[in-house]
Chains A and B, each alone.
Chain A
Amino acid sequence: MTALAAQVGHIARRSLVRTLRQPASAIPPFIFPMALLAVTAAGLDSATRLPGFPSDSFLAFFLAFPFIQGALFATMNAGTDLARDIQTGFLNRLSLTPMRGAALVTGHLAGVVTMGAVQACFYLAVGLAAGVSIASGVLGALTILGLATLIALAFGALGTFFALRTGSGESVQGLFPLLFVGLFLSSMNLPRNLIEADWFRFTATINPISYLIEGVRSLIIEGWDAQALALGFGMAGMIAVLSLTASAWALRGRLTRT
């Protein structure tokens, strides 16, 4: 067990070092979500005047968005880095060491999740600095960080699965538009009960990303909403389990060593 933990640590450290040494990958997850947060929160601030809108601050309402968008970046970075290892043969090099397959995936994701947690802290800090108050208090803020970290794990594992399955950075990049669409076809901009178009409301209702957003959002603007939290954590957990299982399966196919 100690050997496995050590291996996970080494791979995680490498994952973090690599991310930090690629400003083009490391910086956008901090900057882009904040840019979108700023323009959307300002642009739709008047939406708080809609009857039934759950908050008098669109910034507070929309603050959940960066956590999810940050997770998308985690998907892309996790997947692209691992795909590059496969394409360059570095995975073969690691395969020839006593490194266990589980350590490869776990270590890789540990690095991704660490970055995800740092991002989440950053988004929360920016929100607080911009005047958002967290309805669920300090414990709620910690819960947000926990949920955001779980979401980063879930999407990081998704990127990892695609990388292991395809071995191609381009294929992983091809995921981005799909996830981006998934993000927009959700309750990102308005609560589901205020979405007028039936088809859009239906899509948002069946879209798991809506529940991730609503889970985070409930802690910010409502306080402790058991149902929203259960659904948020539940969806994140489900995506994480499915993605990790798929990654383990894909790893067996990729790591053909005896």
Chain B
Amino acid sequence: MRRGASFRSVALAVAWRVLHNVFTTPSLLLPSLIFPLFFFTAFAGGLSRVDNIPGFDFPPGYTTFQFVFVLLQSAAFGGVFTGFGVARDFESGFARRLLLAAPQRGGLIAGYALAAVSRWAVTATILTVVAVAAHMKVGGDGVDLFGLYGLALIVSLAGTLWATGVAMRLRTMQAGPIMQMPVFLTLFFAPVYVPLDLLSGWLHAVAKVNPVTRLLEAGRSLIAGNPSEVGLAYGVAFALVAGFALWALRGLGSAERAGG
């Protein structure tokens, strides 16, 4: 089999297995569906008054404002959940079987990533349906929305590659908090509840340099129909993917040297 075909077949096989396991195991599927819905409900519902803060200027409203954050959060954490699965595979010994069977081992990472974005696509669909049902206002057109969801998809990929790299290095479920905490902190050290210019103090300083802020602001501008710094956001997203892809590949090397 040619190298490219081998890579593709490994990726597809791994992706199929992950998706099959997730969609037939409620305890794996439900958290990744329910938590984004819950956060959306809690933030958009509970904090809707926040758009009355003097200086809060986001025409589509708070529901839409929070939708973008939750969409990106679900993308990032979808990747982390996939990372849990990778860690589980190593802990159970199944990863050793995959390493032995796969002629192109990079295909393993591609497979996990493919599964993660596919899984996230389902989450994003459900989240969107719920948001629309909650009368979320959308200012952007089809191109803008394509840009938003495309950005989120790349974030999902970045999250997966990060978590996969951690999982392949540590090869235990106890790596869960190490996968989760940096993602959590990075997401929350950003303009989650209010726009950047309404933040103050240390959080404003941190959020200004946080790459997630670029993603959030661009995403919000897209859904508002007023795209701004989208190129920069995509650049940041691709840079994250490139960096974490290298991280994941090196993690794969670490796992290979350890014999799985």
Partner of A200, one of B31, B46, B189: B46
Classify chain A: how many residues form its interface, as a range: 20 to 34
Q: How many angstroms between the C-alpha atoms of A26 and B76 in the bound complex?
A: 27
A184 within 8 A of B: yes
Contact B46 A189 (CB under 8 A): yes
Query: Per DSSP, are chain B's interface residues mostly helix, strand or loop, or mixed?
Result: helix
Contact B194 A195 (CB under 8 A): no
Residues in chain A near residue B184, CB distance under 8 A: 35
B203 within 8 A of A: yes
Question: When A177-B34, A185-B46 are in contact, do A46 and B53 touch as well, CB less than 8 Å?
Answer: yes
Q: How many angstroms between the C-alpha atoms of A197 and B46 in the bound complex?
A: 7
Contact A204 B46 (CB under 8 A): yes
Residues in chain B near residue A44, CB distance under 8 A: 47, 50, 193-194
Residues in chain A near residue B188, CB distance under 8 A: 36, 39, 43
Residues in chain A near residue B31, CB distance under 8 A: 177
Q: How many angstroms between the C-alpha atoms of A44 and B43 in the bound complex?
A: 12
Contact A190 B193 (CB under 8 A): no
Contact B201 A42 (CB under 8 A): yes
Contact B45 A197 (CB under 8 A): yes
A139 within 8 A of B: no
Contact A200 B45 (CB under 8 A): yes
What are the interface flags for B172-188 relative to A under an 8 Å C-beta threshold, 1 for contact and 0 otherwise?
A: 00100100000011001
A68 → B minimal CB distance (Å): 15
Residues in chain B near residue A188, CB distance under 8 A: 46
Contact A190 B38 (CB under 8 A): no
Contact A185 B42 (CB under 8 A): yes
Residues facing A in B184-236 (CB within 8 A) are: 184-185, 188-189, 191-194, 198-203
A positions within 8 Å CB-CB of B: 24, 28, 35-36, 39-40, 42-47, 49-51, 177, 181, 184-185, 188-190, 194-197, 199-200, 204
| Pairs A–B under 8 Å by Cβ, sample size 25 | A35-B185, A39-B192, A39-B203, A43-B188, A43-B192, A43-B194, A44-B194, A45-B201, A46-B53, A47-B50, A47-B194, A177-B34, A184-B38, A184-B42, A184-B46, A185-B46, A189-B46, A189-B47, A190-B46, A190-B47, A195-B46, A196-B48, A197-B45, A197-B46, A200-B41
